[in-house]
A = this chain, B = another copy of it.
Amino acid sequence: MARIVGGMGTSHVPSVGVAYDRGKMQTPEWQPLYDMFLPVKEWLARIDPTIAIIVYNDHGTDLFFDKYPTFALGAADYYPQGDEGYGPRPLPPVRGDAEFSWHLSEQLVWNEFDLTVCQELAMDHGLLVPMNLCWDHRPDWPIKVVPLQINVLQHPLPTALRCWKLGQALRKAVEAYPKDERVLVIGTGGMSHQLNGERFGFMNENWDQQFLDWIEAEPERVAQMTHQELMEKGGAESVELIMWLTMRGALSPQVKRIDRGYYNPMTTGIALLTLEDAG
């Protein structure tokens, strides 16, 4: 039987991908982030997940506003990399597990989550940057991935509460899978940041730290927040934080915190939280 072994919340900042590709993760600017993820790699080696469900969002890479899904689940054996405007990065395709994905889609759709199921889906920094921070892609990614895309671009977005419930349903769906898989759930996005308008560059570290407290110990408080409240506190683009709720909803009510980190060099709080499931 498959089971969830842990959860991780982490931001997905595009410039980290650039620094990674250029071998600059140990320059003074990026060393704090590099160090933040050293214990994560040890933790991952210990809990040894076989599949990662990565809750992320597309950034105008594969999805367009002609047909914009609320929740899109990847159901393929591999996911190519999209082109974010600068040509592709030197990364292999992400490995999937179509059978596991389709199992999840059956459980979730029959449990009243109205997914868009994707047999073709191209990945962008929303998923790839967290992968870069967790795993080496050479010669190939060492883990299989299920991409779960959430609309955080075009309002109406799914509510924080809905994302939380999606996580809870995801846990049940994982536990109904007959094969022995050790599943890590990653929620990406945030923290405080705003990229549009005169308020560009807005950050709020106090709120980011509060969010990290709440998502660990009192996630229902975040689940009750509206998008308006999230944007006021953290900037328009910080609504991405609703994706952390899906991760947290998939974990046991009580969790054991392993690591927590925060670094905000430029326009976004780059956070990390790793949680072990109580089973």
A258 contacts chain B at the CB level, 8 A cutoff: no
Give the total of A residues in contact with B, Cβ under 8 Å.
Answer: 31
**Chain B residues, Cβ within 8 Å of A70:** 109, 114-116
20 A–B contact pairs at CB < 8 A? A65-B119, A66-B119, A67-B118, A67-B119, A68-B116, A68-B117, A68-B118, A68-B119, A69-B116, A70-B116, A106-B155, A109-B157, A109-B158, A110-B156, A110-B159, A112-B159, A112-B162, A113-B114, A114-B115, A114-B162
Q: Which residue of B lies closest to A227 (CB)?
A: B110
Contacts of A210 in B (CB 8 A): none
Contact A106 B156 (CB under 8 A): yes
Cβ 8 A contact of A69, one of B66, B67, B110: B67
When all copies of this chain in the complex are counted, the total is 2
Chain B, Cβ-Cβ closest to A106:
B156
Q: Does A230 contact B (CB under 8 A)?
A: no
Question: Which residues A86-121 have CB closer than 8 A to chain B?
Answer: 105-106, 109-110, 112-121
Interchain residue pairs A-B with the least CB separation, the first 3? A114-B114, A70-B114, A109-B156
Asked if A154 is an interface residue, CB under 8 A from chain B, the answer is yes
Q: Which residue on chain B has the smallest CB distance to residue A159?
A: B110
A95 to B154 CA separation, bound complex (whole angstroms): 23
Assess the B68–A114 pair: CB atoms within 8 A. no
Report the separation of the CA atoms of residues A155 and B161 in the bound assembly, to the nearest whole angstrom. 27
A57 to chain B, nearest CB (A): 14
Q: Chain B residues with Cβ under 8 A from A118's Cβ?
A: 66-68
* Chain A residues numbered 40-91 whose CB sits less than 8 Å from any CB in chain B: 65-72
Give the shortest distance, in Å, between A58 (CB) and chain B (any CB).
11
Counting chain B CB atoms within 10 Å of each CB, the highest count among A119, A121, A154, A161 belongs to: A119
Residues of B within 8 A of A117 (CB): 67-68, 154
